[in-house]
Amino acid sequence: MRGLIAATALLAGVHAAVDPIVIKGSKFFFKSNGTQFFMKGVAYQQEINSNSTSSSNDPDAIKITDPLADPTSCARDIPILKKIQTNTIRVYAIDPTKDHSACMSAFAAAGIYVIADLSQPGQSINRNAAAWTTDLFTRYTSVVDEMMKYDNTLGFFAGNEVSNQPNNTIASAFVKAAVRDTKAYIKSQNYRPIGVGYATNDDAAIRENMANYFDCGDPNEAIDFWGYNIYSWCGDSSFTQSGYDVQTKNFSSYNVPVFFAEYGCNTPRPRLFTEVGALYGKQMTGVWSGGIVYMYFEEENQFGLVSIGSDGKVQTNSDYDNLSKQIAKVTPTGVNMNSYSPSNTAPAACPKVALGNWEAVASPLPPPANSNLCDCMMDTLSCVVADNVSDKDYGDIFGYICGQANGKYCQGINANSTTGPYGSYGMCTNKQQLSNVLNAYAKGVQGGCGFKGKASTRAAPVATPTGTCSAMLKAAGSAGTGIVSGGAVKPTSSGSSSSSSGSSSQQGGHSSGAAVGLSTPQFSFGIFGLGLGVYVIGAFASGMAMILL
């Protein structure tokens, strides 16, 4: 083990050579030799569960251990992963500010690729108050920038089980907007071709619509691969009893790669992993590109393959032993990239919107996360939220104003396409959105910029916008409901912005200073029909008059 750790340390500054994985049609291939690639994967992350990235937005709610930033642990675990023929690991959350070179190089030397989720708890798309914002775009692209340093990065997940039942499917529109903006960013940075996908749960009521929605329409907005979290093969089941036969048929004409992003039912336990023979056998390899066992570390949810003792040593369990036996039996047979001509090239048809069944509109998607537009908008406001107002107080103000005049003053941040067009500024930071709402209210209500000091008047920094600002604000319109072209733009540390559309980020008539924070709390403001009533009721119940004029 000491030798392996030493070797890992040497690799910290030298990225091991590895053949990148590419996508052609509905399959993965090694780029150089064209051999088809089947994932033999394991989810590799401690102290986080797969659903946390879709349901929690408290950055302190769950402690995260970056699995790619601890060279000693990586070196300890690689031999154990290789004994079960692991060639892929999935990580659910990394810290993009940390150094990952040692672990990534060690994994590369072992022939192990990494598929990384872009979100983390506290910085994710919340299914109950969905939003795609400049803060989230900054988080996502920071992970992309870090992981694109390594050729053994296989791809990215823009979301994991965000929509999990019919009444929250509207959130999928925001995840698809994240896919669109992340793909555009990768292209704008001239990174090598790499896929951006989504990992879905196995909910019978929405799984077909989910797969179709993310694949339909403009390919620049669609997923590049589809991950399926499936736990239907329990115990010594079968291809038909588990429903694998049905899902294999359902995806037989899907035009992008599909694989099990998580699998391994743990009732009963120990897990037998007899599904491995089916997944990598002739019945499934024509459609599926393998899968990722959930998970490496044993924790309270009892899905682990190994336990880590207080001394840091690894103890494998019966699940590990059974997986090892089953994986040793399989040798998936694929096709060669050069001789492969995809027959299933057409995207899926977009699902029809029906209240209570499927509520995500396919087009248009929520607006790109354009921090330049947010800056330009802020520079025209004469009423803004005061700097001393805590973001914990934002909800009351949003709730009160958005409850007036049938939501008239909140059109610019509307996030529910079933009640009207998306607001042009619904992707700005919470403070910028609240300032937009306050300014609209102050224009419509005499003396409306008060709220007992929680709002403040000022001379707008830019009386008459010029250049790109003028064009964008004109496109947004006076109500803030227009469609603004130009793609996603994230703020930089210097206050200027970088674009994912490839166009210049320079513009006339705006000041710098868009927020770059990565932990802005999420609210359900602007989502008419998806939680706004809670804010309106709560605003009055908590004594809203205390903060009014």
> Rounded to whole angstroms, how far apart are CA atoms 418 and 415?
9
Buried b (16+ CB within 10 A) or exposed e, 465-478: beebbbbbbeebee
Return d(Cα 481, Cα 424) in angstroms, integer. 5
Task: Respond yes or no: is residue 298 known to be catalytic.
Answer: no
275 is catalytic: no
Q: Which of 161, 275, 298, 359 is labelled catalytic?
A: 161
Distance in angstroms (rounded) separating the CA atoms of residues 372 and 424: 12
Phi then psi for residue 259, to 5 deg, are: -155, 165
Concatenating the DSSP letter of every residue in 229-294 gives: EE----SS--TTTTTHHHHHHHTTT-SS-EEEEEE---SSSS---THHHHHTSTTTTTTEEEEEES
Residues belonging to the chain = 549
Cβ-contact 187, 220 below 8 angstroms: no
Contact between residue 305 and residue 295 where contact means Cβ atoms under 8 Å apart? yes
List of residues 6+ apart from 302 with CB closer than 8 A: 266, 269
Angle subtended at Cα 170 by Cα 169 and Cα 176, rounded to the nearest 5 degrees: 95
Q: Which amino acid appears at position 102 of this protein?
A: A
| 3-state helix vs strand vs coil in the chain, percent to 5 | 30, 15, 55
* CA 140 – CA 179 distance, rounded (Å): 10
Which of 146, 221, 262, 275 is an active site residue?
262
CA proximity to 80, closest of 42, 39, 38:
42
Amino acid at 420: G
451 close to 397: Cβ distance less than 8 angstroms:
yes
Angle at 321 between CA 315 and CA 325, to 5 degrees: 155
Contact predicate 106/74, CB 8 Å: yes
Catalytic positions: 161, 262
